[in-house]
Structure 1
Amino acid sequence: MVTSVLRVVLLGLMLGAPALLHAQSAASGTPMVGRVVDIRNDRPIAGAQVILERFKVTSLSDSAGAFRVAGVPAGTHEVIVRAIGYEPLVVMMAFMASDTLRPEFLLNNAAQMLNVVKIDTTTGGLLSLRMQEFEDRRKIGLGRFLDASFFARYFGLDIISILNGRFANISATSGPHGLSIRNARGGRSCPAQIVLNGQMMGTVVDRGLIQPESVIGFEFHNSASTPAQYGGTAIGGAIYGSGFSGASCGTAIFWTR
Structure 2
Amino acid sequence: MASTFLRRLAAGALGLLLAGALAAPVAVAQEGAGNLAGRVLDDSTGTPLFGARVLLLGTKYAAGTDEAGRFRLADVPAGPYVLQVRYIGYETVSLPLSLAPGQALQLEFSLASSGFVLPDIVVRGQGRPGMLDPKLAAFYDRMRTNAGFATFLTPQYLNQRNPQFTTDALRSVPGIRVTCGSTRTNAGGGCEIAFQRSAGAGIGTYGAGQCPPIIFLDGMFMRMKPQELDQMIPAQQIYGIEIYKGQATPPEFNYPGAACGVLAIWSGDRFGERDRERDRVGNNR
* TM-score bucket of the superposed structures, by smaller chain: 0.3 to 0.5
Q: Normalised by the size of structure 2, how large is the TM-score?
A: 0.39
Structure number, greater radius of gyration = 2
- Structure 1 or 2: larger strand share? 1
**Higher RCO (CA-CA < 8 Å; seq separation 6+):** 1
Q: Normalised by the size of structure 1, how large is the TM-score?
A: 0.43
- Structure 1 or 2: larger helix share? 2
